[in-house]
Amino acid sequence: MAGVQVANLSRSFGAHTALDDVSIDFADGGFYALLGPSGSGKTTLLRQIAGFDFPDSGRIAIGGESVERVPVEKRRIGMVFQNYALFPNMSVADNVAFGLSVRGEAKATIQSEVQRALDLVQLGKLGARRPHQLSGGQRQRVALARAIVTKPRVLLLDEPLGALDKALRVDMQIELKRIQREIGITTIFVTHDQEEALTMSDRIGILRDGRLVQEGPPEEIYDRPKSEFAATFLGDANILRGETTGTGIRLPDGTAIAAGAGATLAGGATASCAVRPERIRIGTDSGTSDPNANMLRGQVSKRIFAGNNSTYFVDRNGQTIKVTVQNTGVEKLAEGQKVVLRWSPESTVLIAAS
Amino acid sequence: MAGQVATGSRSGLRSALPLLVPAYLWLTVAIFLPLSAMVFFSFMTELPLPGKAWSFTLDNYATFFSQPLYLTLLAASLRLGLEVTLWCIVIGYPAAYVLAKVFRGRSREAIFLLVILPFWSNGLVRIFSWAMVLREGGILDSALNAVLPFNINIDLMYSYPAVIIGLVHSYVPYMVLTCYLTLQAIDDSLIEAGRSLGASRLQMLKRVIIPLSMPGLVAGAALIFVPVVGSFMEPRILGGRTGTFYGTVIEDQFVAVFNWPLGAALSFILLAVVLVILALASPVLKRAA
Ligand SMILES: Nc1ncnc2c1ncn2[C@@H]1O[C@H](COP(=O)(O)OP(=O)(O)OP(=O)(O)O)[C@@H](O)[C@H]1O
Ligand SMILES: [Mg+2]
């Protein structure tokens, strides 16, 4: 096992910069999610680490060893592809055995290692089948077994669950996480599913247009996004823009919003505050509350019911603010009703204008 | 591969039958009728021309077995077929691989055109242009002498190599096309997966790419081997006196000696031999694929 260090990595395709000065430290044994919109460079970054493609500049080290010019077959990595990429001309067992047999391992070793890997992904009995005789979830398990049986230094997965339906996807998330813990392998996981990234990973890196926007543990990115993009891409957020007061902002109409988290900025510049919809309390009364709380008045324009919660769209001076409340079965606000929104400064993140 | 077709449902097969009618009608008219006429001829003493008496006989077939020359020529033709097929694999497979896996977009189309260009030129023109290249004082000879500091004398004309060169040139596009189709269907991520598992390019070729493109290789080999064994034009024009093969002897019976019954009998013996070879080879090839 080994950590992966990526430093100042850049890669262009013609005039298009797919990776722009990206530096990330993937800790040994960690589970890392790369998240970003389509075309943001996630696959490109993964391919540089795998060695399918080479960077224009920058450094890549696996386990402290510099690998920029090492071809993929010498990097000792395990890769899982979105379309599984199983060899159709081989049985499941032969697929899993492939990496060991090209290394010239002894037959007996191969057999026991393959069985162990298949048992680990709970496919111990299906070794004799051909890939086309398996379901999507089973194929992905075979692909995983094939990637880890060679004891690679890192496991790279490019949207491995993208082709599965929702229920199977959740099962496989749990399964993948269990296996990753069990063998303790450094794992880099590309996804565009933010929920998947939040639930599975120790750390998340958010990419946008080839740049690393923010990087850190899921809670940190969720609670203290450093940019409007990070705030709205990972989870949902209300963005209020105004002039900074140093510890908050003043909206164009003069209302002050206090922020308890995020950047500290010099007064006067334009800035924004982000607040999560579930952090806002919504009510009809104006009395009795924490005097420090931020407060805005508005009018309910729409309510969307989603089972365990509801989201209210509240109109305030032309801006829509989303508020999510748990479905307690007690109160329901009608569309058109005048409401008061309150939330604490601690739930408010001050973000510098980008 | 063929097995997958049979997995279609019965009703699907029945509704597809009308679609097959034109093809079978064409096969009946274009192949079955002339072929049965030839079968008929092969058992006759003479062509049924006015004023000539004829009767049924097995002599035409007996001739093949009584004269060792025919067997020798058949063996030479089979060897020719094998050699040409092998050369077509050696030349055509790498070309197909490069075409399918290295080139992209425009350049692929351009090279593809170059490969199938021989298809569109007249067979005789193709062969005579090789004659110009290969003869003494021809294009190859002059070009080599112009480049090399010493004098060499290259006259490949009327030789076995000339026949091979001409035939390979005529038939290599079949191999390129059939292999290209199967190679191009191999997903690039399979190759990347293999390399990420530590396989060298050679190991990938041996264990994944060749097995997966085997149907194309087999189809190409069959498309080449069969007509080459019976070929007569290239051997006659490029081989001269060394170019006597089973196919040229059959041609002689039809156009020179005018012994159609013997020509027909020799053809059917060839057909039988080729079918037996394909039948014997098919289980082996199926296992490899
Ligand atoms: N081989 C290539 N040639 C030219 N451009 C490329 C190549 N590979 C990637 N790109 C470009 O680089 C950018 C980043 O691509 P990449 O595949 O890394 O995106 P991604 O984040 O994985 O997107 P997705 O979520 O859609 O998979 C895209 O604009 C893409 O068009
Ligand atoms: Mg991608």
Residue-by-residue pLDDT tens, chain B, 289 positions: 333 444 445 667 778 788 888 888 888 888 888 888 889 989 988 887 787 888 888 999 999 999 999 999 999 999 999 999 999 999 999 999 999 988 887 888 888 888 777 777 777 888 888 888 888 777 888 888 888 888 777 777 888 999 999 999 889 999 999 999 999 999 999 999 999 999 999 999 999 999 999 999 999 999 999 999 999 999 998 988 888 999 999 999 999 988 999 999 999 999 999 999 989 888 877 766 5
pLDDT of B1 reads 38
Angle at A42 between CA A39 and CA A48, to 5 degrees: 120
**Beta carbon of A13 within 6 Å of any ligand 1 atom:** yes
CA distance A334 to A310: 12
Which residue of chain A is at minimal alpha-carbon distance from B203? A102
ipTM: 0.83
pLDDT of B289 reads 54
Taking the CA of A47 as reference, the closest ligand is: 1
Scan for tokens 């024009």, then name that residue: B237
Residues 80-139 of chain A with CB under 8 A from chain B are 81, 83, 85-89, 98-99, 102-103
CA distance A206 to A40: 9
In a domain, B237, yes or no: yes
In a domain, B9, yes or no: no
In a domain, B34, yes or no: no
**A72/B192 CB distance under 8 A:** yes
Residues with CB under 5 Å of ion ligand 2 are A 43
Cβ atoms of A2 and A64 within 8 Å: the answer is yes
Which of B195, B196, B211 lies closest to A89 in CB terms? B211
Is the CB of B211 inside 8 Å of chain A's CB atoms?
Answer: yes
CB < 8 Å to A71, chain B: 195
- Between the CA of A229 and the centroid of ligand 2 the distance, in Å, is 19
In a domain, B21, yes or no: no
DSSP string of A130-192, one letter each residue: -GGGS-HHHHHHHHHHHHHTT--SEEEEESTTTTS-HHHHHHHHHHHHHHHHHHT-EEEEEES
**B197/A146 CB distance under 8 A:** yes
CA distance A79 to A90: 18
pLDDT of B9 reads 54
End-to-end CA distance of chain B: 9
Q: Which atom of ligand 1 is nearest to the CA of A47?
A: 18
CA distance A316 to A349: 20
pLDDT of B10 reads 61
Tokens of A200: 């599975």
DSSP state of B44: B
- Between the CA of A295 and the centroid of ligand 2 the distance, in Å, is 42
Instruction: With H, G, I as helix, E, B as strand and everything else as coil, classify residue A286.
Output: coil
pLDDT of B92 reads 94
**Beta carbon of A208 within 6 Å of any ligand 1 atom:** no
Which residue of chain B is at minimal alpha-carbon distance from A98? B197
pLDDT of B6 reads 44
pLDDT of B281 reads 84
Burial class (CB within 10 angstroms; exposed 0-12, middle 13-18, buried 19+) of B25? exposed
- Between the CA of A23 and the centroid of ligand 1 the distance, in Å, is 18
In a domain, B162, yes or no: yes
Residues 146-165 of chain A with CB under 8 A from chain B are 146-147, 150
pLDDT of B139 reads 81
Largest Cα separation within chain A, whole Å, is: 78
Mean pLDDT by 10 residues, chain A (354 residues): 90 95 96 94 96 95 92 94 93 96 95 94 92 93 95 94 85 90 94 90 95 95 93 93 88 89 74 94 76 89 90 93 87 86 92 81
Scan for tokens 């749990």, then name that residue: A174
Q: Which of A11, A42, A158, A233 for a ligand 1 pocket mutation test, highest count of atoms within 8 Å of Cβ?
A: A42
- Structural domains of chain A ordered from first start: 4-223 (3.40.50.300), 236-352 (2.40.50.100)
Sheet (strand A348-352) strand order:
A256-258, A248-250, A238-244, A270-275, A348-352, A261-262
Chain-centroid distance, C-alpha A306: 23
**A150-181, pLDDT tens digit by residue?**
999 999 999 998 888 888 888 889 989 999 99
Cβ atoms of A128 and A48 within 8 Å: the answer is no
Please list the residues that pair with A309 across neighbouring strands. Answer: A326
**Beta carbon of A294 within 6 Å of any ligand 1 atom:** no
CATH number at residue B90: 1.10.3720.10
Is the CB of B272 inside 8 Å of chain A's CB atoms?
Answer: no
Q: Are strands A4-13 and A57-62 parallel, antiparallel or unpaired?
A: antiparallel
Residue B212 sits in which domain range? 66-288
User: A36: number of CA atoms within 13 Å, CB side?
Assistant: 26
Buried b / exposed e along A272-281 (16+ C-beta atoms within 10 A): bbbbbbbbbe
Q: How many domains does chain B have?
A: 1
Which of B189, B190, B195 lies closest to A73 in CB terms? B195
Cβ atoms of A200 and A42 within 8 Å: the answer is no
